[in-house]
Amino acid sequence: MEGRPCGIALVTAGVGRRRGPFRLRTVHLGTAGEAPGESVFVEYNRLLVEPERRAAFSAAMIDELRREPGWHELHLDGFAPKDAAPLLASEPMLEAQPAACPVVELRHAQGADGSVLALLRSGTRRKIRRGLEALGEVETEWPRTPEQGLEILDELIELHQRRWTDAGEPGAFARPRFVTFHRELVRRLLPRGRVALFRVRAAGRTVGCLYHLIEGRRVLFYQSGLAGSWDKPVSPGFVCFALCMQACFERGFEEYDFLAGDSRYKRDLSTDARELIWAKGRRPAMRWALLDRLAAARRRVRPGSDQGADI
């Protein structure tokens, strides 16, 4: 029907972006556009549009953005490939940067006597079994109420921040605004089955806590808080993930997604991979051409140096 809405997209202006001495005005689709460390990152970003109108909607939106003055770069952040494709086709200046998302196909455990552990690599299985044997009896928690979820989230934040501040890093939960956002997210979404927290305890202490978002039958890992050193050969993260993935399978979930990132533990614990797309395209401008030439010259003078990255 003509005149009725067929799709909608969030378009935001980037915050705090610079390149060299110049302010970089960025436009972002479907996410906040805030600087790293200041915001919630969106992964599996999608266009809210009827599938048969995805290409036409993307072309119309790109055309509208071209007419908007004042911005320098257009960013796609963490898009699902089928939603990124029509945007990339509509705007040739966009350069795609795919990122792998390691996953575990939990449904395949049905053919392994219901054991998620049996799906993993032999070396990973040995590490997990060694940790479970060292821990002895373990207790797991999957909270059902917001109050229980917030109690686990608070401990997760404490463990997470302790680990990263000891390493000289700020940690993901360093900013009160960020913590407040996630506490409200758990309060609202846990009763609706859209958020899941998981805690493992042994010998009277917490081994670790995991925090997830849920989309349909998929569990998306978001953050963790893990205990420090143990006297025994325990890998807290591997143990927690193995127990959590088994609990997810037993609750009927079909996939456990570690989201984008090339961390070793994600590769070791996964059985497959999905793909997400980041992309950006810059409008032609003399200032950016000049900075590109300066960066190229610096790399020629200092081969192998990454000094040009900050320009």
Distance CA 244, CA 234 (A): 16
Strand-pairing partners, residue 101, are 274
**Residue 260 covered by a domain:** yes
Q: Could you tell me if 95 and 211 lie in one domain?
A: no
3-class SS of residue 276:
strand
pTM: 0.86
Q: Could you tell me if 153 and 288 lie in one domain?
A: no
**Residue 206 covered by a domain:** yes
Q: What is the largest CA-CA distance in the chain?
A: 68
Strand bridging mode 255-257 / 26-29: unpaired
Q: Could you tell me if 159 and 241 lie in one domain?
A: yes
The predicted model gives 113-123 an average pLDDT of 97
3-class SS of residue 151:
helix
Residue 23 pLDDT > 90: no
Q: Which domain holds residue 241?
A: 102-274
Which pLDDT score is estimated for 42? 80
Strand bridging mode 7-8 / 48-49: antiparallel
Distance CA 196, CA 193 (A): 7
**Residue 2 covered by a domain:** no
Residue 303 pLDDT > 70: no
Distance CA 56, CA 168 (A): 48
Contact 62, 91 (CB under 8 A): yes
Q: Which residues have C-beta within 8 Å of that of residue 63, sequence separation ≥ 6? A: 90
Strand bridging mode 218-226 / 255-257: parallel
Q: Residues 50-81: pLDDT tens digits?
A: 999 999 999 999 999 999 988 989 999 999 99
CA 93 to chain centre: 25
H or E stretch including 120?
Answer: none
3-class SS of residue 161:
helix
Distance CA 78, CA 131 (A): 34
Q: Could you tell me if 194 and 262 lie in one domain?
A: yes
Q: What is the CATH number of the domain that holds 186?
A: 3.40.630.30
**Residue 306 covered by a domain:** yes
**Residue 1 covered by a domain:** no
Q: Could you tell me if 171 and 293 lie in one domain?
A: no
Distance CA 9, CA 211 (A): 27
Q: Per mean pLDDT, which range of 111-125, 192-206, 228-242 is the poorest?
A: 228-242
For the CA atoms of 221, 225, 227, 233, the dihedral, rounded to the nearest 10 degrees, stands at 20
Distance CA 278, CA 61 (A): 18
Q: Could you tell me if 163 and 250 lie in one domain?
A: yes
3-class SS of residue 243:
helix
The predicted model gives 180-194 an average pLDDT of 97
3-class SS of residue 220:
strand
Q: Could you tell me if 117 and 253 lie in one domain?
A: yes
Q: Could you tell me if 226 and 121 lie in one domain?
A: yes
Counted domains in the chain? 2
Which pLDDT score is estimated for 304? 46
Q: Could you tell me if 45 and 191 lie in one domain?
A: no
Q: Could you tell me if 186 and 252 lie in one domain?
A: yes
Q: Could you tell me if 42 and 161 lie in one domain?
A: no
Q: Residues 244-289: pLDDT tens digits?
A: 999 999 999 999 999 998 899 999 999 999 999 999 998 876 556 6
Q: Could you tell me if 112 and 242 lie in one domain?
A: yes
Place 38 in a pLDDT band, splitting at 50, 70 and 90.
Answer: low
Written as one letter, the residue type at 1 is M
